[in-house]
Amino acid sequence: MSAGAAMATGAGPSWFQRFLLPGFAFKAVVIGGGYATGRELAEFFLPSGPWGGLAAMLLAMVLWSIICAATFALARRLGTFDYRSFFERLLGPAWVLFEVAYVLLVTLVLAVFGAAAGEIGAAVLGWPPLAGTALLAAAIATFVTFGNASVEGLFKYVSFLLYGVYALFMLLALGSFGDAIAARFAVPAPADGWVLGGLTYTGYNVIGAVVILPVIRHLTSQRDAVVSGLIAGPLAMAPAILFFVAMIAFHPAIMDETLPSDFMLRQLDMPLFHLLFQLMIFAALLESGAGSVHAINERVDAARRARGRTPLDRRGRAAIAAALLVGCMFLADRFGLVALIAGGYRALSWVFLGVYVVPLLSVGIFRLLRRPADPAERSAT
């Protein structure tokens, strides 16, 4: 139900839907296979050392908040709740550049998720890598088949699990190797490259702000858009900061681990918590993958409606999901997790800074600051 329809029936959007759901959804998209396993943190932040890595993470968090707030406010002003219509209004005919880059990113992201699920299945249960990958693909397809309500519920409940497990992990890590963490933070170390690391990580992850546009239909004002956007950055980065601090206990050796999370859990030597953490990572992969695929389904649905055709039904949603997931999972099996993160993400990061962030913070901000100039903008404000 749209925000307007809900208010017409006297049941307006909840506080959770207006302020926390966008941040939870954004977190769901960015956490992904590399963040959840610690691989992205090792790739982009650990090379800058303890303090440099934290500085890079805080830079990315602030940029995420600014970009999410601007994106949500502009999308609400324009009445665009899928990424295609948003970029048609922001970029004009050049919107296709974003579409091409986004399809490449989704291919890469789902491949990373598949590789991570395969690694988890192999590490925890001794499965062949393709078994964990196939289980994840089936779960993603199931959730996206049932549309917005199913995906939003997934964002909500997985978020509670995720924050709880990361908080518990931090407490256990401090108890087990807190002295090693403190010792490494106390040693002066070069912080080279932290700005570049923060910008690169911002570039390909901030795309989550437009991927989750379907959930901002609950916003009731531009104030909601700005507040929920500013909250999104900390909600997405808080678990990463907790995990990064714990990883510092094993810096720099942990940089070479394919699954830093599994390495650290082995050091804790708590089998039940090890299983709980890996379950949380699988759930994070599930919500991230569902968010990415759902965005494509919503884009197809909006295009069908614009042409006067029937909305995308469950069978169509399932078919699109299956086609995406099968192709991407084969890519995961071919290249593996580390190579996918190190190579693909860096290149696409700069593409999205150019086709999304720069236009948003220039043309987009200009359009937000001036009065609505056309009927579509006035009606959405």
pTM score, whole prediction:
0.86
What DSSP string runs through 52-78? HHHHHHHHHHHHHHHHHHHHHHHHHHH
Query: Which tokens go with 123?
Result: 């590490």
What is the pLDDT tens value at each position of the chain, 381 positions in all?
Answer: 344 444 444 468 999 999 999 999 999 888 875 688 888 899 899 999 999 999 999 999 999 999 999 999 999 999 999 999 999 999 999 999 999 888 888 887 888 788 778 888 887 788 888 899 899 999 999 999 999 999 999 999 999 999 999 999 999 999 999 999 999 999 887 778 899 999 989 987 888 999 999 999 999 999 999 999 999 999 999 999 999 999 999 999 999 887 888 899 999 999 999 989 989 989 999 999 999 999 999 999 999 998 999 999 999 999 999 998 887 776 655 665 556 555 666 778 888 989 999 999 999 999 999 866 555 454 555
Write the single-letter amino acid at 78. L
- pLDDT for res 2: 43
Q: What pLDDT does residue 9 have?
A: 44
Report domain extents, the chain.
15-357
Rounded Cα distance, 289 and 278, in Å: 16
**What sign results for the dihedral spanned by CA atoms 292, 295, 296, 297?**
positive
The CATH architecture annotation of domain 15-357 reads Up-down Bundle (1.20)
Q: Quick count: other Cβ atoms within 10 Å of Cβ 343?
A: 12
**pLDDT score of 6:** 45
d(CA 290, CA 144): 6
- pLDDT at residue 341 in the model: 57
| pLDDT score at 333 | 59
Q: What is the pLDDT of residue 343?
A: 62
- Which residue pairs from 313-317 have beta carbons closer than 8 angstroms and sit at least 24 positions apart in sequence? 314/145, 314/146, 314/147, 317/144, 317/145, 317/146, 317/147
Question: 332 near 114, Cβ under 8 Å?
Answer: yes
